[in-house]
Structure 1
Amino acid sequence: MKPTVEERLSCKLVRAQKEFEGKQGLTYAVGISADTVGSVGINLQLATIPPGARGKAHMHSGHETAIYALTGVSKVWYGARLDEHAIVRPGDFFYIPPGVPHLPYNDSDDPAVVIIARTDPADQESVTMLPSLDGAPPHI
């Protein structure tokens, strides 16, 4: 149940919600969102990319995404044709502008855990799947 207006006007301590698999094919545990605290402009969550896992190509229309790597090494293909690549290591920050296609994956033997902040207070509403790009990066 969404918080009332009065409840939104106070600070909140929130435990990560139960993990779930998002449309993108990865595991998420939402902390701050419209549903948990009534936020109107931000979503904060943990994402886990298991060893050998690959997400699905997607983008977030109209919303910025900031990622901070906690543990493990993840990689991401990004850009209009997923032709750009980054390796995200613990302590790295990674920024994804609104509407930029991306596909995260983990080809290591250890899980990668990242903190994700997005300017969309709902977790999955701005996710636009891009199945036509799922096979675009040839190297994974």
Structure 2
Amino acid sequence: MDDTSPACRVVRPGDGYTGKQGLDYGAGVSAQSAGARGLCLHTLVVPPGGRGTAHLHEHHESAVYVLEGDSEMWWGDGLAHHEVVRPGDFVYIPAGVPHLPVNTGSTPLRAVIARTDPNEQESVVLLPELDALLDQRLRAAGPDS
């Protein structure tokens, strides 16, 4: 096989990174690690009480499979929609849809994330105005909501 032929790659767990969204990822398959051209696949761990920041992926779809832990996700315009996500759930996030994950459980949230962006962080757009909006909404709802 010559050097220009596509090749299978095994990517061993290695260093992780903190994404623009404020979440910690275990680096997996990506353009950087395997030469992927149309996808990335990483792991995610969110500690109890941890949360990302509101963001969207401009031109790329995401899929999440939850291995362990309970979480909540707000999504859509103004983060108007809310979902509870549990182990065994699959989550599909269309390109361009704002979302914000929160680990509301007492154990770490562990998940596998796939995206159609091989560079993963390239299409991330942070939406701090939605973070502030959700914080206001949660404060107004009180601690038991």
CA distance in 1, matches of 2:85, 2:47: 14
Deviations 1:60-96 (A, max 9, x none): 0010000000111121100011010111111110000
1:84 maps to 81
Q: Kindly tell me: are residues 8 and 39 of structure 1, through their superposed partners in 2, closer, same or farther at Cα, counting changes over 3 Å?
A: farther
2:142 maps to none
Q: Please, which of 38, 51, 56 is the counterpart of residue 48 of structure 2?
A: 51
The range that moved more, 21-30 or 96-105, is 21-30
Q: What TM-score comes out, normalization by structure 1 length?
A: 0.92
* Bigger radius of gyration among the two: 2
Q: Please, which of 97, 101, 104 is the counterpart of residue 100 of structure 1?
A: 97
Q: What TM-score comes out, normalization by structure 2 length?
A: 0.89
2:138 maps to 139
Asked if 1:118 corresponds to 2:115, the answer is yes
CA distance in 2, matches of 1:8, 1:128: 34
1:28 maps to 25
Shift of 1:12: 1.0
The amino acid of 2:55's aligned partner reads H
Higher helix share: 2
> Which consecutive residues of structure 1, in runs of 5 or more, have no partner in the other structure?
none
- Regions of 4+ moved over 6 Å: none
Shift of 1:98: 0.3
The amino acid of 1:84's aligned partner reads H
Q: Kindly tell me: are residues 8 and 53 of structure 1, through their superposed partners in 2, closer, same or farther at Cα, counting changes over 3 Å?
A: farther
The amino acid of 1:6's aligned partner reads D
CA distance in 1, matches of 2:82, 2:47: 19
CA distance in 2, matches of 1:96, 1:84: 13
1:75 maps to 72
The range that moved more, 59-68 or 8-17, is 8-17
Q: How many residues are paired up?
A: 136
